[in-house]
Structure 1
């Protein structure tokens, strides 16, 4: 989790301080304003990951896992649905593939956190 927090946090800081550079991986063009607004998602995520890693209760692991599980796949699904109507995404572009990887990784990370929370709660109920 410390590596995950660092990566997500660095990307959030990058979007905030260098919005056009870090926003260039998005599948659609974003301006500096929107990149800086989007940075809040990544900075909040990095903060949540850091807090859970340091000593948060397992309930917070469950909440973080659920949030990541939903944000990752739903962002990708939203892109697919929108592009089905507008046909403006270059699915083979490096930036698009990086964006898909980032949000896919967020979703998969959420699954692992949900699994860890499930194991924790199932071991508690067995006691």
Structure 2
């Protein structure tokens, strides 16, 4: 099936414009404006109702609500506002030691080589080791 956001055609200034059944809550500053936006969508699709189960966010054939993550965002691209942690000398040294980029990149290479040669070369890492390597290196390679 083709998955897409529901839409309808509406005449605006004499031209047909596609309106999408999507509401970004950040665009509506008051509950009244948000309710009006919901009503507009519900009016465009007769028989459609707002979803009833607020704990399950994947109901079908209803106007659903996804609560988000609760992480504060900023700007038009909704970039998360991360907490800045202090990076003192001891913390930096521990991060560099944990990353151990040269050795870890070599171990990941050997792991890839193992799978690409069907086990004839390289070394297979356990899931635990693989996850640990990616976690330790992600800060440096991101």
**TM-score interval, normalised by the smaller of the two chains:** under 0.3
Q: Structure 1-normalised TM-score?
A: 0.26
Larger relative helix fraction: 1
Answer with 1 or 2: which has the greater Rg. Answer: 2
Q: Structure 2-normalised TM-score?
A: 0.24
